Amino acid sequence: MPATKKKNVKKSNTIKLKFDTSWNYAPAPESKSAATIKKQYDLFINGEWVKPLSHKYFDTSDPANEEKLSEVAEANAADVDRAVKAARNAYEKVWKKMPAKERAKYIFRIARMVQERARELAIIESMDGGKPIRESRDFDIPTAANHFFYYAGWADKLDYAFPNRNTNPLGVAGQIIPWNFPLLMAAWKIAPALATGNTVVLKPAETTPLTALKLAEIIQESGLPEGVVNIVSGGGATGAAIVNHPDINKIAFTGSTEVGKLIQKSIAGTNKKITLELGGKAANIIFEDAPIDQAVEGVINGVYFNQGHVCCAGSRLYIQESVAPELIRKLRDRIETLIVGDPLDKNTDIGAINSKQQLDTIRRYLKIGKEEGYEMYESSCPLPAKGYWCRPTIFTDVAQSARIAQEEIFGPVLAILTFRTDDEVIQKANNTPYGLSAGVWTDKGSKIFNLTKRMRAGVIWANTFNKFDPSSPFGGYKESGFGREGGLHGLLPYVNLSH
């Protein structure tokens, strides 16, 4: 990068706003006492809590203070086999025979119970995963409940979803979910599977198993027939045992592209159905005629939501050159006002990084970005002494060929690139192995349609970002995976259609 350019950027920022004010917010922590976390969790198989045959347990901790929260059973292949047998038995004897409207009642009941226990679930989600309570309270838990509500509605209307076809469930679904939206991903997986008459063996992520286990408690209380949903905690080996189990009919996986590829290799040659929702490096495109202040907010929500641990995060920002200086200046001011800290504080905007391992990954990319010579700007906020933290960070003047612009970082790190014309930005935005999501900001409707037609991404947001609704399908192109979750489309991966 030429030295003169650097100078210009600094010069245009001589007039500064000062956000460190004499009036500050007192701590407003949500109370931990509203949440019950047991000292130890077993496996939830066939409607009961059972000791693992592996005899092993692993710790799950709070990434905000590195303190142990609980210990959780680690399922081995024998445990997974037990769970699959229970699911098969429930499928054959109960669930597939049950009238669809009866199935719906159970799903509806689970939705209601998630709502009733929303506060407790939100607190545990923030403690176990590090996300700010504002997000778990206002987004994760309500959206999870909505997913159950939504698919409860479909259960007895499958004939309308697929007119003139017979819909048959697949059997036992093996579901493996990530650590970034633990309860929400469980809902995304379980709700459509149950609505279509399948039974489930679900594995929550190693670092965030608690809300899925809380969901198991809810499922137990709801009276759902035993064995219909089984929850087995564990790490990669547990996941592999699910993927390789011969009596599983369908694998649904959300996680990294690397593991997604392994899963696809493992099931090659079997008749297992599969959906994969993998990584992403979404392009967020801002044209000069965009509503700039709202676009700034969209960028913030796009990349700093959930500490950037979002597969559809808008981590590649393309700004039309004529508005780049103004927009970057506003972004820099905006990140100064983001509050980083205790996930349970109601005023926290950015919580803790999910794990030590993920923090190391993010730091490695920060180092790469700096070494490659891109200008880095991070907010000046203080960080707590204990726990895993990363300040919201911006890299400017990034090249298309930079690693920080090509690879998924999965943290609060934004790479900013500029462009001149529509064709150029479409080409650059599509120039990635991923294709999960994208965003476009412009005041002109025709420009939006031109772009959305030519972008290769599963979800494209116009003048907004990171908006989710149970009725809207979500999924990727290329190395971001295949299959859709949510909406009518989300039923399809769980049914066989026949005439």
- Which residues are known catalytic residues? 277, 311
160 touching other proteins, by CB under 8 A: no
Q: Tell me whether residue 337 or residue 357 sits nearer to other proteins (CB atom).
A: 337
Contacting range for other proteins; rule: CB under 8 A; set: 10-18, 139-147, 253-261, 390-398: 10-18
Q: Which one of the spans 13-21, 87-95, 106-114, 259-267 is the region binding other proteins (CB under 8 A)? A: 13-21
31 makes contact with other proteins (CB under 8 A): no
Burial of 289 (0-12, 13-18, 19+ CB in 10 A): middle
From candidates 15, 31, 385, 499, binder to other proteins by CB under 8 A: 15
Q: Return the residues of window 454-473 that contact other proteins according to CB under 8 A.
A: 463-464
Q: Among 168, 193, 171, which residue's Cα sits nearest to residue 92?
A: 171
Burial 328-343 (b: 16+ CB within 10 A, else e): bbbbbebbbebbbbbb
Which of 429, 388, 138 minimizes the C-alpha distance to 285? 429
**Residues numbered 307-336 forming contacts with other proteins, rule: CB under 8 A:** 326, 329
Of residues 429-448, those binding other proteins (CB under 8 A): 443
Q: To the nearest whole angstrom, how small is the minimum distance from the Cβ of residue 345 to other proteins?
A: 8
- Which stretch, 14-22, 72-80, 98-106, 148-156, contacts other proteins (CB under 8 A)? 14-22
Closest separation between CB of residue 325 and other proteins, Å?
A: 10
Least distance from C-beta 134 to other proteins, angstroms?
Answer: 6
Whole-angstrom distance, CA of residue 83 vs CA of residue 373: 51
| Member of 96, 119, 346, 428 binding other proteins (CB under 8 A) | 346
Q: Which one of 262-270, 295-303, 390-398, 451-459 is the stretch in contact with other proteins (CB under 8 A)?
A: 295-303
- Listed residue (306, 399, 411) closest to 362, CA to CA: 411
Least spacing, CB of residue 437 vs other proteins, in Å: 18
End-to-end CA distance of the chain: 62
Quick one: tokens of 437?
């999501």
Mapped onto helix, strand or coil, the DSSP state of residue 153 is helix
Q: How far apart are CA 450 and CA 454, in angstroms?
A: 7
Shortest CB 125 distance to other proteins, Å: 17
Q: Does 18 bind other proteins (CB under 8 A)?
A: yes
Q: How far is the CB of 19 from other proteins (least distance, A)?
A: 5
Residue-by-residue DSSP string for 231-283 = E----HHHHHHHHH-TT--EEEEES-HHHHHHHHHHHTTS--EEEEE-----E
Count helices and strands in the chain by DSSP H and E runs: 17, 20
Dist CA 135 CA 147 (whole Å): 17
Candidate ranges 184-192, 222-230, 288-296, 391-399; the one touching other proteins (CB under 8 A): 288-296
Least distance to other proteins from the beta carbon of 282, Å? 18
Closest separation in Å from C-beta 226 to other proteins:
41
Residues 110-139 that bind other proteins (CB under 8 A): 134, 138
The amino acid present at 204, given as its one-letter code, is P
Question: What's the CA gap between 470 and 444, in Å, rounded?
Answer: 28
Report which of 232, 255, 251 is spatially closest to residue 243, judged by C-alpha positions. Answer: 251
The site that binds other proteins (CB under 8 A) totals a number of residues, namely: 32
Amino acid identity, residue 101? K
Three-state SS for 411? coil
**From the list 142, 153, 291, 433, which residue makes contact with other proteins (rule: CB under 8 A)?**
291
Indicate whether 371 belongs to the interface with other proteins (CB under 8 A): no
Degrees to nearest 5, angle at CA 436 with 444 and 62: 115
Q: Tell me whether residue 11 or residue 18 sits nearer to other proteins (CB atom).
A: 18
Task: Pick one of 4, 11, 24, 39: the residue that binds other proteins (CB under 8 A).
Answer: 24
Q: Is 293 in the site for other proteins (CB under 8 A)?
A: yes
Report 219-258 residues binding other proteins (CB under 8 A).
none
Q: Which residues bind other proteins (CB under 8 A)?
A: 15, 17-28, 134, 138, 289-295, 297-298, 326, 329, 337, 346-347, 443, 463-464
